[in-house]
Every structure is written in structure tokens, then in C-alpha cells.
């Protein structure tokens, strides 16, 4: 059993528009480091595209994956990112789906985690949502 966490930096286009792509690149690297630091060595993280990231969390149940997802969200939310003497704050939304109980194929798992991510965004951002809840 494992869970897929689909993560997206909230309002990142607006962030880039306001502060520039160079600052945005620093934020992407800092977020990537924060996600990796929030997980265990056996979990896998990757940039999925743009400002999206994924993590495969090896777990025995959804509750453990939710602990990991909430830790990531909390760590990013409480961090003031320091870049060139300025401080920046961003938040992240996370969708979670479990294999094999939520999905039968890789594509299905990605699709369901992505749907949960969109639910997190629709619920006000800076949230963690499990597919099907």
C-alpha cells in the first residue's frame, strides 16, 4: 500500500507576477527541500511540472499518509522563506489518493490525487484533501 500526494503551490502565477521568476525559482527549490525534509528516506518526491510536486508515501494506511501530508502543509505554511534579504510566505494545497484501495492503475491514481488537489483548492487552498472524502 502506498499513497500519492499531489501538491500545488497556491496562487503561484500571481506570486511570479508580483516578485518575478527568479524569486519564484528560489521558492520552488525551497518548497522542494521542505517537502523532502518533511518525509522519510523511504518516500519519493518529484517535481511534477510547473509548481506541482508529487510524493509517493509508503504506508500501511491512509492515516499515516495524512500525517505526512499535514506535516508538509504545516511546515510550508509556517516558513518565512528568506531570499536576497526579503521574506516570502507561500502555502500549498495537497490531494491524496491511496493505491490500491482508491485506484487500480497508475493513471487512475494520478487522476484521483489530482481531483483531490482541486477539491483542496476549491475549499479555500492551504488544505489537505483525501480522494473520496
Q: Active-site residue numbers?
A: 51
Query: Hey, is 130 helix, strand or coil?
Result: strand
Q: Report the C-alpha gap between 113 and 111 in whole angstroms.
A: 6
Q: Which of 128, 122, 121, 91 is nearest to 4 (CA)?
A: 128
Q: Report the C-alpha gap between 96 and 107 in whole angstroms.
A: 14
Q: Report the C-alpha gap between 73 and 92 in whole angstroms.
A: 6
Q: Report the C-alpha gap between 132 and 123 in whole angstroms.
A: 14
Amino acid at each position: 500500500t502506498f499513497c500519492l500526494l499531489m501538491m500545488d503551490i497556491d496562487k503561484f502565477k500571481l506570486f511570479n507576477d508580483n516578485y518575478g521568476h527568479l524569486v519564484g525559482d528560489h521558492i520552488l527549490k525551497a518548497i522542494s527541500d521542505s517537502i523532502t525534509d518533511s518525509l522519510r528516506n523511504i518516500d519519493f518526491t518529484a517535481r511534477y511540472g510547473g509548481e506541482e510536486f508529487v510524493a509517493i508515501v509508503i504506508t500501511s494506511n491512509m492515516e499515516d499518509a495524512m500525517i505526512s501530508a499535514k506535516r508538509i502543509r504545516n511546515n510550508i505554511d509556517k516558513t518565512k522563506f528568506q531570499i536576497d534579504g526579503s521574506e516570502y510566505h507561500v502555502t500549498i494545497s495537497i490531494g491524496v489518493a491511496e493505491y490500491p484501495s482508491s485506484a487500480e492503475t497508475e493513471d487512475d491514481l494520478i487522476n484521483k490525487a489530482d481531483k483531490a488537489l482541486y477539491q483542496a483548492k476549491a475549499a479555500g487552498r492551504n488544505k489537505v484533501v483525501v480522494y473520496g472524502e
